[in-house]
Structure 1
């Protein structure tokens, strides 16, 4: 589902180049749930932006659903992202003037899907993340954990090939963090959706099937786990 081949990247500051990623290689299979683990400055945010097609690497290739996104022009890349890539953000990134249901529907608006089908799909996803009955509320009326559930539902509505979750529990207390992780695991198992969870927390990474660890721009390991230890009891 996702293949990263010999990705290297540098940033220019003044007249000097600073290399932030060094020949990164790994593969994520369909339906896997993996962690990209690293501390601040490890290069994980840069790698996330490259994999999501938000930046172009200076070297290497990134394949998603057998498409080398590095070779796509800006218009084709934007279209590819809308269809194949979902995002879950640490700060939720919900539009405060829209209802819960309207926030979830939004990616389908850009695909010209009819209002009836948009709402039907959104309501189904809101039920899956445990927010049935809250579809006409506004983000300000929800807790942080509930807002993140809205973000999760929104990321799934286009049925993407892969979802990138950027520090999805970073703003949550430990109890809510566990609930959100359980929901992600439940969705991963039931929908067979591929998740890349970017985190600096070992406790979060340990819940995943595999961990890709970055340090100073180098991939230092890819640890495989047969079963994720996350409990699904907190999932809806």
Structure 2
């Protein structure tokens, strides 16, 4: 479902070149929940941006749902992301002047979906992420964990091919972190959704089905199962 082959990336600053990813290869199957684990500077954020089509790789290929995204122009990439890719952010990225329901509906607005369908789908997702009574509140009226649940619901509103979660528990306390990871695992099991969770926390990574570990721009382990690192 998601295939990365011979992927390398180099940043240029004037006449200087900095290599951040080297010869990365891995496959992620439909319905997997996978951790992309690495410390700061490992290259995981760059890899996430490449997989999400926010940057083009220096070398190599990224295929999602059979489409080579590195060959797409910006317009095609934007349309592809709207349909196939969901995002969950560490800082939630909710729009403060929109209600919870309106924030969740937003991706469907850009797809031209009717207001009734948008509302019904948003309310259904709010129930599935455990905050069904919060639809008409604003983000500032929610706790951090509740805001992240809204972000998760928004990422699922289009039923994307893959959801990228960028340090989704980075701003949360330990108890809430556990609740959010439990929620992602439950959604994965219930709907067969594919998740790639980017994290520097080994405890988060161990909750997933498989760990892709980066170090200094290299994939040093792409086959670890949950619990293998104990």
Question: Which bin holds the TM-score, normalised by the shorter protein?
Answer: over 0.9
Partners of 1:88 and 1:133 in 2: CA distance = 21
- Runs (4+) of structure 1 exceeding 4 A deviation are none
Partners of 1:225 and 1:21 in 2: CA distance = 23
Partners of 1:147 and 1:102 in 2: CA distance = 13
Partners of 1:23 and 1:120 in 2: CA distance = 44
1:165 equivalent to 2:144? Answer no
Task: Give the structure-1-normalised TM-score.
Answer: 0.95
**In the TM superposition, what are the counterparts of 1:128-139 in structure 2 within 5 Å?**
128-139=128-139
Secondary structure class of the residue paired with 2:179 = helix
- Other-structure match for 2:78: 78
CA separation of 1:201 and 1:227: change in aligned 2, threshold 3 A: closer
- Other-structure match for 2:33: 33
Partners of 1:43 and 1:226 in 2: CA distance = 22
CA deviation after TM superposition for structure 1 residue 222, in Å: 1.5
Secondary structure class of the residue paired with 1:63 = strand
Deviations along 1:25-82, whole A, 9 cap, x unmatched? 0000000000000000000000000000000001000000000001111100100000
Partners of 2:206 and 2:43 in 1: CA distance = 20
- Other-structure match for 1:6: 6
Contact 2:162 2:194 in 1 (8 A): yes
Partners of 1:179 and 1:154 in 2: CA distance = 18
- Other-structure match for 2:20: 20
Task: Give the structure-2-normalised TM-score.
Answer: 0.97
Deviations along 1:76-110, whole A, 9 cap, x unmatched? 01000000000000000000000000000000000
Partners of 2:226 and 2:23 in 1: CA distance = 27
Partners of 2:99 and 2:22 in 1: CA distance = 43
Contact 2:206 2:226 in 1 (8 A): no
Contact 1:122 1:157 in 2 (8 A): yes
Contact 1:209 1:227 in 2 (8 A): no
Contact 1:107 1:158 in 2 (8 A): yes
Number of residue-to-residue matches in the alignment: 228
Q: Structure 2 regions of 5+ residues with no counterpart? A: none
- Other-structure match for 1:233: none
- Other-structure match for 1:47: 47
Secondary structure class of the residue paired with 1:133 = helix
CA deviation after TM superposition for structure 1 residue 13, in Å: 1.7
**In the TM superposition, what are the counterparts of 1:1-236 in structure 2 within 5 Å?**
1-225=1-225
